[in-house]
Amino acid sequence: MTDKALVVFDGVVKRFGSFVAVEKMNFEIRKGEFLAIMGSSGCGKTTTLRMLAGLDAPTEGEIRLGGKRINDLPTWQRDTPMVWQSLALFPFLTVRENVEFSLRMRGVEKAERRKRVDKWLERMQITEFADRNVAHLSGGQRQRVALARSLVTEPDILLLDEPLSALDAHLKVRMQTVLSNLQRELGITFVYVTHSQSEAFSMADRVVIMSRGRIEQIGNPQEIYRAPRTKFVAEFLGSSNIFAGKVSNVNGKALKIATPVGEFDVAPNPAKALSKGDKATFVVSGDRIQLSNQPPADGYDGLQAQVVGEEFVGATAVIHLEGADRIEIKAQKSHDELEHINLEPGAKLWVSWRPEATHILPGE
């Protein structure tokens, strides 16, 4: 355990009957970080969070909070409040009563309760609704009440399970800013479960990517985006082009990989020594792909492919193409870069990249 670790998952397994929901999980959550746990539906994100909150007990292994084993510590004895997608506010209580609830449960005396609740109503800009029933608030306002209710005890850690998924797109973006600022200003550790890459990557200091109960990769957003560890991660991010083949030549640090669509130079992989004949998969992220009507210039590798379609993603466009062997290629480009390129479906283009833009998947 490092000095910075607030929470340690040490060989944690969670089974429901014979079904393994979380498999031998080892990782640390650092003090004061914003950690996002991301993965597709059913991969074990919520189960991980519930074990931390004390709503589920690990079947094996140990969870430590501040160095102490908490496996069997009941929820109400650990300070790990949770904000849910459904928010789980008490529908018949006012905003103030909702926010005050956990202070009452802890026997905090009235004057102190009032002071702390006022502070959090103010902090979350909901003072004007203090006496309103929570049923009569908008989605965004309810969100702020749920946050105030969880933060009023001033915990070291806040657990959030898809808290924004019920909000419309506009409000979602606004609440992302509210959450990021709040976390930074308070210095509290946030553990945030989401299936949304944009939420995870825009707010978190580090992201855990899970698949089928296991951690596939943990790292900061840039690391994960630039250097996915496994094919699952590369596919999950959706922005990578994946080429699988065999090492055809090793010359010092330089490698060549033969794939069904050509032989390509790839950047060396410091994490793993590869020999001739070894299987290898490399990726090139969509923003590092060049598209052209001409064959690639010297120093670039490439292949020919046909345009399948175009998709607009804000200031950029994603061009989908198909090459030999039905390989799918995605290129993410600004509209300016595409100005003189024929993007009609069926148009033949050259797809190219610099060998330095390739990344070998070390976990494959």
Q: Rounded to whole angstroms, how far apart are CA atoms 234 and 242?
A: 8
Q: Which member of 41, 222, 251, 275 binds ligand ATP (CB under 6 A)? A: 41
Taking the complex as a whole, how short is the minimal distance between the CB of residue 23 and ligand ATP, in angstroms?
Answer: 11
Taking the complex as a whole, how short is the minimal distance between the CB of residue 52 and ligand ATP, in angstroms?
Answer: 12
Q: Rounded to whole angstroms, how far apart are CA atoms 206 and 224?
A: 9
Angle value at C-alpha 98, between 97 and 101, nearest 5 degrees = 80
Taking the complex as a whole, how short is the minimal distance between the CB of residue 39 and ligand ATP, in angstroms?
Answer: 6
214 binds ligand ATP (CB under 6 A): no
Taking the complex as a whole, how short is the minimal distance between the CB of residue 210 and ligand ATP, in angstroms?
Answer: 7
The dihedral sign for the CA sequence 83, 84, 85, 90: negative
State in Å, rounded, how far the first CA of the chain is from the last one: 27
Residues 173-202 that bind ligand ATP (CB under 6 A): 195
Taking the complex as a whole, how short is the minimal distance between the CB of residue 195 and ligand ATP, in angstroms?
Answer: 5
The dihedral sign for the CA sequence 123, 124, 127, 133: negative
43 binds ligand ATP (CB under 6 A): yes
Q: Rounded to whole angstroms, how far apart are CA atoms 328 and 194?
A: 27
Interacting span for ligand ATP (CB under 6 A) from 35-43, 183-191, 308-316, 344-352:
35-43
Taking the complex as a whole, how short is the minimal distance between the CB of residue 207 and ligand ATP, in angstroms?
Answer: 14
Closer CB to ligand ATP, 237 or 329, in the complex: 237
Answer for the pair 335, 319: CB distance below 8 angstroms, yes or no.
no
Q: Per-residue contact track with ligand ATP, 283 to 322, x per CB under 6 A?
A: ----------------------------------------
Q: Can you give 256-292 as a three-state secondary structure string?
A: EEEECCEEEEECCCCCCCCCCCCEEEEEEEHHHCEEE
Place of tokens 């926010």: 99
Taking the complex as a whole, how short is the minimal distance between the CB of residue 49 and ligand ATP, in angstroms?
Answer: 8
Q: Which member of 1, 4, 11, 16 binds ligand ATP (CB under 6 A)? A: 16
Taking the complex as a whole, how short is the minimal distance between the CB of residue 74 and ligand ATP, in angstroms?
Answer: 18
46 binds ligand ATP (CB under 6 A): yes
Closer CB to ligand ATP, 210 or 349, in the complex: 210
DSSP, residue by residue, 73-112: --GGGS---EE-SS----TTSBHHHHHHHHHHHTT--HHH
Q: Which member of 21, 63, 191, 361 binds ligand ATP (CB under 6 A)? A: 21
What would the two tokens of residue 331 be? 């290129």
Interacting span for ligand ATP (CB under 6 A) from 34-42, 216-224, 305-313, 341-349:
34-42
**CA proximity to 323, closest of 295, 304, 345:** 304
Interacting span for ligand ATP (CB under 6 A) from 37-45, 167-175, 247-255, 350-358:
37-45
How many residues interact with ligand ATP (rule CB under 6 A)? 12
Closer CB to ligand ATP, 39 or 355, in the complex: 39
Q: Rounded to whole angstroms, how far apart are CA atoms 126 and 207?
A: 31
Interacting span for ligand ATP (CB under 6 A) from 13-21, 58-66, 88-96, 352-360:
13-21
226 binds ligand ATP (CB under 6 A): no
Answer for the pair 150, 158: CB distance below 8 angstroms, yes or no.
yes
The dihedral sign for the CA sequence 348, 354, 357, 359: positive
Q: Which member of 9, 28, 47, 98 binds ligand ATP (CB under 6 A)? A: 47
Q: Rounded to whole angstroms, how far apart are CA atoms 163 and 179?
A: 10
Binding site for ligand ATP (CB under 6 A): 16, 19, 21, 39, 41-47, 195
